[in-house]
Amino acid sequence: MKVMLINSPNPVGKDKRNANFALFPHMGIVQLATRVRKSFEGEVEVKIVDGGIYPLEKILQQITEDKPDLVGISVLTPSYEEGLKIALYAKESGAKVVLGDDHAIFFPELILSKRPYVDYIIINDVGEQPFVELIESLLGRRTFDRVCSLAYRSHGTIKQNPKKAYNLSDLNIVPDLDFIAKDLNIYSDRYYQAFGHLHGGPIKIVTINNARGCENWFKRCSYCSIADLRINCGSPKQFWSTVDSYHENYGINLFFEVYDSFTASPNYIKMLLDAMPLHIASKIENGDIEFMVYARTRGLLRTNTMEYLRRLGVRRVNIGLDSGSSKMLIAQRKNHTTNETNIEALKLIQQNQMTVHGSFMLGALGESEETAQQTLDHIKQSLTEVTFSSLEISMLYPLPNSPIWDILINFDKPQFYRSKAEIDEVLATMGIQVSEAVRQDIALRYKSEDSFNSEQLRNDWYKNYTHITQDYVQERILEVDRLLEPQRVRTGRNAG
């Protein structure tokens, strides 16, 4: 059996790319490929194509040449449309098609009912075991009703098998970089062009993922669309053996650990330090191995955290600083984060010789010109406190599975608020009034859809749930871009 795993491209213009856009490989599909090869050695052949670096035409051409039996496509909300084009082409070329990753996880019913060319969906963000079980079914060794986390069609109905919560400590494997060996330099060269000046010498990069989740899981930031925020840590020993083998065999010297928030579990950080092999410690000491992580500023302020991160070799921290207005930080459900805690953390980061990738958002619930100005002032102050590798201000893009999605579309059956009444209270606190007719009209527009017009979604949000216009936001963003240009701070736009 031939399997092709594809990361769907995200064909946005330069003005809509985030600062790290396509600089890193998609490790999720490399993990899946590694697991499939381990489970079906010699029986199943797997290939990977990353739409981050290859355009749609190249991906389709690869399908024509390879004629895979099963095509697995990783789709996020912004890359879903392109994913569908690949799915249709693969189906017409005779392959079975399975979708995975966030967007597919959020809309299995709708996708299967509207897209006859999609055969299966894996509704689990730890996809390895379900994917292996699906292949077993396709090889005739398991019935479809026994494939964990599978959505599929059976006798004219759509079925969803129960989901399981897998622990990374039980099944995380070391993704085999041989699957993307020919592409590794493409990412590293792109990274070097963007950020080489922040590092001493040549840089070879990769993402790794030994833990997932966030300390703000019970509240979740208003724009956070992550499928599962439960804290799920893999083995520290395996973390280091991955780092060691990638460094030795592929010369990787910058590791982007994509744990949703590295500060989520202080215990895990301590365990990593305790398990760190001496030879790695000395490589870190000499600057031969560096790490980049996501973190929350309140987590960074916890006693010893910065010292531990420095000893672990963390040189760059990605932080959602979000706003310079306390009111907007509350609107964004940042959970006790304030502009003061943000500045305090930035100072600490500077003292520890790390750089920051900071992201801000103009367009939270109830955002006004006054709060936007506070954010701009905060950015100017932040620039004097720390070295930014990149700083991006984004427009809010409502993503499914987020509290914003509840406010805009799912208010009758919210996931992250107790009830519609609670949402109404939040709207009143932020001075937002939207008539019931308008709310229902917006909800109707998207409720039964698996694919959305992002411009329209944004218009609906800004027009009804903020006190600013998108034109105003664009002007303010350009103003910051102009401020950053001479400082060699990279800019970008995120979705969220």
The contact set with ligand B12 (CB under 6 A) reads: 7, 10, 17-18, 20-21, 24, 26-29, 31-32, 52, 72-74, 76-79, 98, 100-103, 122, 125-128, 131, 207, 209, 212, 224-226, 258, 260, 399-400, 494-496
By CB under 6 A, residue 296 contacts ligand SF4: yes
Stretch that binds ligand SF4, among 7-15, 110-118, 218-226, 404-412 (CB under 6 A): 218-226
Residue 100 makes contact with ligand SF4 by CB under 6 A:
no
Q: Under 8 Å CB-to-CB from 328, ≥6 apart: which residues? A: 322, 364, 366, 367, 371, 374, 375
> Binding of ligand SF4 at residue 76 (CB under 6 A)?
no
Burial-class residue 244 by CB neighbours within 10 Å (0-12, 13-18, 19+). Answer: middle
Residue 216 binds: one of ligand B12, ligand SF4, none (C-beta under 5 to 8 A by kind): ligand SF4
Nearer to ligand SF4, 246 or 416 (CB): 416
Residue 296, contacted partner among ligand B12, ligand SF4, none, CB below 5-8 A by kind: ligand SF4
Nearer to ligand SF4, 103 or 220 (CB): 220
Q: Please tell me the count of residues contacting ligand SF4 according to CB under 6 A.
A: 11
**Pairwise CA distance, residues 3 & 139, whole Å:** 12
Is residue 426 within 8 Å of 491, Cβ to Cβ? no
List the x/- string, 227-246, binding to ligand SF4 by CB under 6 A.
--x-----------------
Cβ distance to ligand B12 smaller for residue 260 or 367? 260
Find which of ligand SF4, ligand B12, none residue 320 binds, CB within 5 to 8 Å per kind.
ligand SF4
- Whichever of 283 and 493 has its CB closer to ligand B12, that residue is 493
Q: Which does 127 bind (CB under 5 to 8 A by kind): ligand SF4, ligand B12, none?
A: ligand B12
Residue 222 contact partner, candidates ligand B12, ligand SF4, none, CB within 5 to 8 A by sort of partner: none
Q: Does 450 bind ligand SF4 (CB under 6 A)?
A: no
Minimum CB separation from ligand SF4 for residue 215, in Å? 7
Q: Is 485 buried (19+), middle (13-18) or exposed (0-12) by CB count in 10 A?
A: exposed
- Which one, 10 or 374, has the nearer CB to ligand B12? 10
Stretch of 99-107, 217-225, 307-315, 416-424 contacting ligand SF4, by CB under 6 A = 217-225
Please pick, from the candidates 19, 111, 206, 226, the single residue that binds ligand SF4 as defined by CB under 6 A.
226
Partner interacting with residue 330 (select from ligand SF4, ligand B12, none; CB below 5-8 Å by kind)? none
Contact assessment for residue 256 and residue 288, using Cβ atoms and an 8 Å cutoff? no
Task: Give the one residue of 216, 390, 401, 494 binding ligand SF4; rule: CB under 6 A.
Answer: 216
Q: Does 321 bind ligand SF4 (CB under 6 A)?
A: no
Q: Which is nearer to ligand B12, 74 or 374 (CB)?
A: 74
Does 403 bind ligand SF4 (CB under 6 A)? Our answer is no
Please report whether residue 220 would count as binding ligand SF4 according to CB under 6 A: yes
Of the residues 87, 122, 224, 362, which one makes contact with ligand SF4 according to CB under 6 A: 224
Smaller CB distance to ligand B12: residue 107 or 465? 107
Choose the one of ligand B12, ligand SF4, none that binds residue 126, judging by a C-beta under 5 to 8 angstroms depending on kind.
ligand B12
Q: Which of 133, 260, 290, 406 binds ligand SF4 (CB under 6 A)?
A: 260
290-294 and 205-208 strand pairing: unpaired
Q: Which stretch binds ligand SF4 (CB under 6 A): 9-17, 221-229, 282-290, 483-491?
A: 221-229
Q: Work out whether the CA dihedral 312, 318, 319, 320 comes out positive or negative.
A: negative
Residue listed under structure tokens 């993307």: 180
Using CB under 6 A as the binding rule, whether residue 44 contacts ligand SF4 is answered as: no
| Residue 388 backbone dihedrals phi, psi, to 5 degrees | -90, 130
Q: Which does 400 bind (CB under 5 to 8 A by kind): ligand B12, ligand SF4, none?
A: ligand B12
Between 82 and 215, name the residue whose CB sits nearer to ligand SF4.
Answer: 215
